[in-house]
Chains A and B, each alone.
Chain A
Amino acid sequence: KNQVEQSPQSLIILEGKNCTLQCNYTVSPFSNLRWYKQDTGRGPVSLTIMTFSENTKSNGRYTATLDADTKQSSLHITASQLSDSASYICVVGHGGATNKLIFGTGTLLAVQP
């Protein structure tokens, strides 16, 4: 069964601290892995996309890693800001013809002053 699991479910950190979010997937065939940020009441916004051959990608203070052998990914946020408070969703692109996306349930991050 195609699944994406994320941990932790929720996380509270202090402003300025770093954190790492985890993602495990069992999607086959695999096409790509994305991390999205979703603010409350808004649509998801893409942070990074990685294909099978990429093992790291950065977007500002966000760095995603991918280990296709163990089917794990992580999203590292450095020097957190209050505006980083959101749900972070790991999404795996299915390798079939329609590029269907399989979503994790997200990690809810709260950055406190």
Chain B
Amino acid sequence: NAGVMQNPRHLVRRRGQEARLRCSPMKGHSHVYWYRQLPEEGLKFMVYLQKENIIDESGMPKERFSAEFPKEGPSILRIQQVVRGDSAAYFCASSPPDRAPYEQYFGPGTRLTVT
């Protein structure tokens, strides 16, 4: 059973470009979480999704950021018109349905660098 997969592992974008980060959860997991880790800081919650639904996006910046988890395919975190402050490691985690306390399994992360 493969773990949580994220790609790309490293992504370089110029200011103003778009960044698309992908996350494939573990088999059988229907819950996906996205976190951002800025340099020298702890992980911060961004968004929680289930298949085709955004459950909690209270950690997402109001502009330029969006996330989806379609019925088929990976979850996508999309950042439009990137700025230098978006440079960070973005981690995805997945958890199985209906199991408290919802153990979350993390992927290796995507390191975004905005030049």
Q: Is the pair A44, B101 in contact by a Cβ cutoff of 8 Å?
A: no
Determine the residue in chain B with the shortest Cβ distance to A46: B103
Within 8 A of A (CB), among B59-115: 91, 93, 100-109
Q: Is the pair B55, A103 in contact by a Cβ cutoff of 8 Å?
A: no
B4 at the interface (CB under 8 A from A): yes
B94 to chain A, nearest CB (A): 11
A14 to chain B, nearest CB (A): 26
Contacts A104-B42, A105-B42, A106-B42: A43 and B91 contacting too (C-beta < 8 A)?
A: yes
Determine the residue in chain A with the shortest Cβ distance to B3: A43
A61 at the interface (CB under 8 A from B): no
- Interface residues of B, count at CB 8 A: 25
**Per-position contact with B for A90-104: 1 when CB-CB < 8 Å, else 0?**
000100001111111
Q: Is the pair B101, A93 in contact by a Cβ cutoff of 8 Å?
A: yes
Q: Identify which of B44, B105, B109 contacts A42 (C-beta below 8 A).
A: B109
Residues in A neighbouring B42, C-beta threshold 8 A: 4, 89, 103-106
B12 at the interface (CB under 8 A from A): no
Residues in B neighbouring A31, C-beta threshold 8 A: 101
- Interface residues of A, count at CB 8 A: 23
B3 to chain A, nearest CB (A): 9
Q: Is the pair A32, B106 in contact by a Cβ cutoff of 8 Å?
A: no
**Alpha-carbon separation in the docked complex, A2 to B102 (Å):** 19
Q: Is the pair B55, A44 in contact by a Cβ cutoff of 8 Å?
A: no
Residues in B neighbouring A46, C-beta threshold 8 A: 103-105
Residues in A neighbouring B4, C-beta threshold 8 A: 43
A12 at the interface (CB under 8 A from B): no
A49 at the interface (CB under 8 A from B): yes
Between-chain CB contacts (< 8 Å), 19 pairs? A42-B108, A42-B109, A43-B4, A43-B93, A43-B108, A44-B91, A45-B106, A46-B104, A49-B103, A89-B43, A93-B101, A98-B48, A99-B101, A100-B58, A101-B43, A103-B42, A103-B44, A105-B42, A106-B42
